[in-house]
Structure 1
């Protein structure tokens, strides 16, 4: 049996409630809850990102009759001793024949008829009349059109499904005089026909409970369910939950003709699962259907999805070709929103993967990075796409940090973006929390950095994409590992929720984070066999996060330094430095490379050559307010001065920086240790006297 297009028993019940409201049967105190309930069932809105949804985790798509009971039994009616639920059920059970179903739609049609001037002058209008363009008017107009289009057999099925739908409320009829004796069909009662008779079974017996359940869901409800799934998949970047896959499959198989959104849901699910071929297949199916339905406005979005899919799997040549065609098509169709999003995504990719984009032939479309952000910001203001404007302001704040500009400029753009989020109710909390965490870490406030990550995970996890949650957990892990507490860091990664329905990139990110923590611990413990095994397994690919790629390269360099292979370490450092310079990388990464170079010079017995490098790192760190790098650079300068016999100058430097760092000196060698030189402390091997004192 095919599913109905629109009308279901729950829709009939909503129409009964609308008719009750328009007949002034709803008291003033219950008007707002009743109208809110009706509109939420007909025109559902996404939940606010500022609070957790209180909707049950497991619920039916179609509104059960118990939902009406929950909302109506709390309100008294105009009848003494009766609640609004009693009045509603009275109207429901007064529909005691198939003919009454037609009468309901006739009465609803009268609600859309404007009263005459004479009736308005005489104040004889006792009903609420609806405008045809109002939400309730639109509901009634569509319901009446769909009912008129129903074949007779489908109308009988709808009536029989409505009888089964209201059956759980039969006990309420005992409280309502005159209803309990009529049964489900007053015509059958007048003719003396009852259950078991041939005519009665012909009319109602063939409609089993299973078929009634099947008829409770319409194609319109199924499309709404698919739209909800798409919203979750796109906004959170996750996969379809396992407990939802089987019900979805059963609904689609029973519907006969699956809605086109089902192909897009399968596309996102297979994409996040890492099934490249199936993802392309479902994407082509969805947009081929859209083109057949003459919805050519979807063509540029097909190309946009294809570009993102190519880039996610490291095919940057195909991604650039697809995004260029997307931009050209969006300009041709004058789709400003798609055009702005495409340009913003292209700018993001050129910044996140500059090496791969240049290798693929991308030479820049929007000029310099500042010009690109200014262009995107102007276009976002012009088209009033505030979510794009908020993201652009946040990107501008990130650019100031990456270039080493004053921190006040970054704070300025951050506050502008936050104000816009509050004013326009934009759900962009995850990006803001991560940026504030990174900003606090650069200022040396590791505690605040950890607090922002915890705030994201505990307060905004329901509205943040999965990728941002994973990054927050990874950042917390590295903050703990930086203190030398490797066991606790690995425990945090082990406790992560890693169900099978998470994306393949999620598992790859967790694998790399775990490997990095183990590699740092192995270097710290001088376990060279484990280091070599981990370095072989931790090979980044083109889709690896650039920050993790840098950390892997840095760990490899410090492994070579710890082994005493200074020439190999210096070659790897030069390669990394050249790569960072070509990519226009973060100033913090470049400063860390300078500190590592100074450390290599000092350990190789040439501290004079490392002095100027460390001094340059300290100068850049001070200007950019990179406090951890500044402390490491000053500690490196003190160690270099100490190694060449300038003990007084080293002591003056240490006295200047230790009150801020609160780190003691190494009692054996006099070198600055602990928090003052976190990079060197993380990777250098433990000495004999430190084994007892080392944390973890």
Structure 2
């Protein structure tokens, strides 16, 4: 394989010779020169989905590459620059003609060039001269076998233009056919089809550039190399023996094994990559380059260990990386390592403390995570490392959501929610907006989807479901394939889960099924999509009261707890408790809730919203077990803390739980007024089950008011019963949208009782018929 020369570059050399000889009209010279410049300065790189467009220039035929020249005029009337170039291409009848071409081009930049042979002389410092000189030098270095292979590839490459050339030059084509027949070089369709498949010819430099670009794409997007692209890369790499290409080959294999979940093979490929890098760089760059490669090897090694949940090994590798970066005074590597170490402490705070656990390990003194964030932001602004600044702002936003100083520092007895650190959603939104501004100002495209994810999470905490959905849709619609695959997967899973919560569980499942092929082969993302599919199926089974099917999906989801995905684990915990409640196994449900509360107490930083949600569930279970008074103080403190921190969805859950408890305590008017104030915001959240339960609870409060505060047969009592019927019917409609069988049956029973209380036997009979039909449908679905 040639180091630099390819059939495409031979064609560009012929075009360059024509341009220097003035064979193009003045109106077409600029277009021809632009075409030449675009090819001598272009680099291989993946610009499309999964890097597929990287092969457009390397794998295309002459008719595809040279086609734009048909818009440029030549010096012959009626002929384009494309026609003139084809005429010169087909004049090359053997290696002798190629040698003559390089001899003529060598005179273009020679000091004593003859102006009669060439109308123009190229300056030695120009890009065109550098291109011609490099091609000439590389051609002289080729061995004879490589020269023959280059010529055979050139014949195959130009074969696609034979039909157009023969139509314009019939006499020359006939002569060429005669000569080719005698030399077994027929330009027939059958011969061309064979050479088109065998004549792919790529230089070593193109292969090196393509592998580098592919590695960059894998590192940025988190995808895997497509099968067709991998096969071509392997065949091209096999033809080379260059140490640099072998090094990149192992780096490419490292990302492939990493994304496919092969931890051992990824580790081995990473070691081989840096071994070859040290050999290649050590011979020319000396010890300094070897030390620089070593610290980046440790950086990649730490990320690899963390992705496979080897947290202690990850911390060890990061400690050594920080020490090496400090020794080599590599501020970029050091800042990134500190940022990654901050992430490690937030992901697994129970691990062994690192020697560089905070900035205090570097600067001395006592420092915390906020000090480290301030340090990283200052260094990012100082070094103008804007991607580090944006990511640090997002880390600070996450930290403020979870662990900012307590707003009530004084000790409190029997405190349920004030004993631990709490978060600030409004401050987090401000930091996310700052990160978005940095992304737009400095065109940080790869960080924009991550900022949208944080933005959607913040809007969810503020009960702005519509804005959260738009933030997630932005990643799919605006950024598309330019967004990292992990960000696209997370946004789609959140979108599908939100759709399911609004009552369209089948639509969310269809969305995930359609997306599953996009993450095929990327193990963790494939497991995440499969996990959310099982979550939606578990949710649908619980709503349909198919408890055996729900138990099956629950057993399928249990192994996914090892993924360490907090979002997936939290949703699974909620559905698991719901399964116990629907089985009327309240003791097991209470044990599970207490276990999760204790885990959140011992985990710092722990999401305050998750802990408050489990506290609300605990109060609800107390109410279901007939111990409403025990759950009242828990629900009240949870609602107070959620309101103070503006965790509005959790606040609405707590308000609903309080209303249920107040109804059990016969405080019907307080329950009604509480839910009347919160109901508009509940409807905006698109959380159908919470809204349905609130409507039913308001209906129960109206029934309680009719029975305790109204005289028998009074108009006020009739009004209360009618209001209860309206709210119960609204709740039934929402339960029907969710396909929640248990909720619909409860509403129909209440509807029939209220109708009989009013003396409307016809309405009661219809409700009984609907109840019986719903029971038959459930039995048929179970069978």
TM-score interval (norm. to shorter)? 0.7 to 0.9
User: What residue number does 1:513 align with?
Assistant: 532
Q: Deviations over 1:49-75 (max 9, x none)?
A: 9xx899869746245212333211122
User: What residue number does 2:700 align with?
Assistant: 669
Pick aligned residue for 2:237 from 221, 245, 252: 252
Q: Measure, in 2, the Cα distance between the counterparts of 1:159 and 1:521.
A: 65
More helix by share: 2
Q: Measure, in 2, the Cα distance between the counterparts of 1:586 and 1:219.
A: 52
1:548 aligns with 2:533: no
> In structure 2, do the counterparts of structure 1 residues 365 and 682 end up closer, same or farther at CA, with 3 Å as the change threshold?
farther
User: What residue number does 2:521 align with?
Assistant: 502
1:282 aligns with 2:275: no
User: What residue number does 2:589 align with?
Assistant: 569
Q: Is the 8 A contact 1:239 1:501 kept in 2?
A: no
Q: Measure, in 2, the Cα distance between the counterparts of 1:408 and 1:292.
A: 53
Q: Is the 8 A contact 1:4 1:215 kept in 2?
A: no
Q: Measure, in 2, the Cα distance between the counterparts of 1:620 and 1:212.
A: 69
Structure 2 counterparts to residues 305-454 of structure 1, below 5 A: 305-355=300-350, 358=351, 364-366=357-359, 367-403=367-403, 407-427=425-445, 428-454=447-473
> In structure 2, do the counterparts of structure 1 residues 163 and 246 end up closer, same or farther at CA, with 3 Å as the change threshold?
closer
Q: Measure, in 2, the Cα distance between the counterparts of 1:75 and 1:176.
A: 17
Pick aligned residue for 2:631 from 597, 610, 619: 610
- CA drift at 1:129: 3.4
TM-score, normalised relative to structure 2: 0.75
Q: Is the 8 A contact 2:157 2:196 kept in 1?
A: no
Q: Measure, in 2, the Cα distance between the counterparts of 1:613 and 1:27.
A: 85
> In structure 2, do the counterparts of structure 1 residues 546 and 254 end up closer, same or farther at CA, with 3 Å as the change threshold?
same
Higher mean C-alpha displacement, 444-453 vs 491-500: 491-500
- CA drift at 1:599: 1.7
Pick aligned residue for 2:611 from 590, 600, 603: 590
1:129 aligns with 2:129: no
Q: Is the 8 A contact 1:33 1:71 kept in 2?
A: no
Pick aligned residue for 2:659 from 626, 638, 643: 638
Aligned to 1:648, what secondary structure does the other structure show? Answer: helix
Q: Measure, in 2, the Cα distance between the counterparts of 1:177 and 1:558.
A: 80
Pick aligned residue for 1:142 from 134, 137, 140: 134
User: What residue number does 1:122 align with?
Assistant: none
1:459 aligns with 2:491: no
> In structure 2, do the counterparts of structure 1 residues 13 and 57 end up closer, same or farther at CA, with 3 Å as the change threshold?
closer
Gaps of 5+ in 1: 120-124, 202-206
Aligned to 1:558, what secondary structure does the other structure show? Answer: helix
User: What residue number does 2:58 align with?
Assistant: 61
> In structure 2, do the counterparts of structure 1 residues 413 and 683 end up closer, same or farther at CA, with 3 Å as the change threshold?
farther
Q: Measure, in 2, the Cα distance between the counterparts of 1:33 and 1:369.
A: 59
User: What residue number does 1:686 align with?
Assistant: 743
Pick aligned residue for 1:271 from 235, 248, 258: 258
- CA drift at 1:94: 5.2
Q: Is the 8 A contact 2:45 2:51 kept in 1?
A: no
TM-score, normalised relative to structure 1: 0.83
Higher mean C-alpha displacement, 249-258 vs 225-234: 249-258
Greater C-alpha radius of gyration: 2
> In structure 2, do the counterparts of structure 1 residues 530 and 416 end up closer, same or farther at CA, with 3 Å as the change threshold?
same
Q: Measure, in 2, the Cα distance between the counterparts of 1:13 and 1:169.
A: 12
User: What residue number does 2:248 align with?
Assistant: 261
Q: Is the 8 A contact 1:562 1:684 kept in 2?
A: no
1:76 aligns with 2:133: no
> In structure 2, do the counterparts of structure 1 residues 23 and 158 end up closer, same or farther at CA, with 3 Å as the change threshold?
same
Aligned to 1:585, what secondary structure does the other structure show? Answer: coil
> In structure 2, do the counterparts of structure 1 residues 177 and 597 end up closer, same or farther at CA, with 3 Å as the change threshold?
closer
Higher mean C-alpha displacement, 379-388 vs 406-415: 406-415
Q: Measure, in 2, the Cα distance between the counterparts of 1:197 and 1:639.
A: 94
Q: Is the 8 A contact 1:10 1:216 kept in 2?
A: no
Q: Is the 8 A contact 1:97 1:184 kept in 2?
A: no
Q: Is the 8 A contact 1:317 1:361 kept in 2?
A: no
Aligned to 1:689, what secondary structure does the other structure show? Answer: helix
Aligned to 2:695, what secondary structure does the other structure show? Answer: coil
User: How large is the Cα RMSD of the aligned pairs?
Assistant: 4.1
User: What residue number does 1:234 align with?
Assistant: 219
Q: Measure, in 2, the Cα distance between the counterparts of 1:373 and 1:29.
A: 58
Q: Measure, in 2, the Cα distance between the counterparts of 1:342 and 1:45.
A: 30
- CA drift at 1:318: 1.4
Q: Measure, in 2, the Cα distance between the counterparts of 1:327 and 1:463.
A: 31
User: What residue number does 1:220 align with?
Assistant: 205
Q: Which has the higher contact order (CA 8 A, sep 6+)?
A: 1
Higher mean C-alpha displacement, 371-380 vs 87-96: 87-96
Aligned to 1:461, what secondary structure does the other structure show? Answer: helix
Q: Measure, in 1, the Cα distance between the counterparts of 2:433 and 2:171.
A: 64
- CA drift at 1:538: 2.4
Q: Is the 8 A contact 1:437 1:452 kept in 2?
A: yes
- CA drift at 1:90: 4.0
Q: Measure, in 2, the Cα distance between the counterparts of 1:588 and 1:115.
A: 80
User: What residue number does 2:182 align with?
Assistant: 196
Q: Deviations over 1:649-671 (max 9, x none)?
A: 22222222223334562175349
Gaps of 5+ in 2: 187-191, 283-288, 360-366, 404-421, 684-690, 703-726, 749-769, 779-783
> Would you say how many aligned residue pairs link Structure 1 and Structure 2?
667
> In structure 2, do the counterparts of structure 1 residues 260 and 33 end up closer, same or farther at CA, with 3 Å as the change threshold?
farther
> In structure 2, do the counterparts of structure 1 residues 138 and 323 end up closer, same or farther at CA, with 3 Å as the change threshold?
farther
Q: Measure, in 2, the Cα distance between the counterparts of 1:641 and 1:384.
A: 57
Q: Is the 8 A contact 2:44 2:54 kept in 1?
A: no
Q: Is the 8 A contact 2:218 2:255 kept in 1?
A: yes
- CA drift at 1:7: 0.9
Q: Measure, in 2, the Cα distance between the counterparts of 1:477 and 1:181.
A: 62
Q: Is the 8 A contact 1:327 1:339 kept in 2?
A: yes
Q: Measure, in 1, the Cα distance between the counterparts of 2:655 and 2:197.
A: 77
- CA drift at 1:448: 2.8
> In structure 2, do the counterparts of structure 1 residues 53 and 548 end up closer, same or farther at CA, with 3 Å as the change threshold?
closer
Aligned to 2:471, what secondary structure does the other structure show? Answer: helix
Q: Is the 8 A contact 1:320 1:362 kept in 2?
A: no
Aligned to 1:4, what secondary structure does the other structure show? Answer: coil
- CA drift at 1:279: 1.8
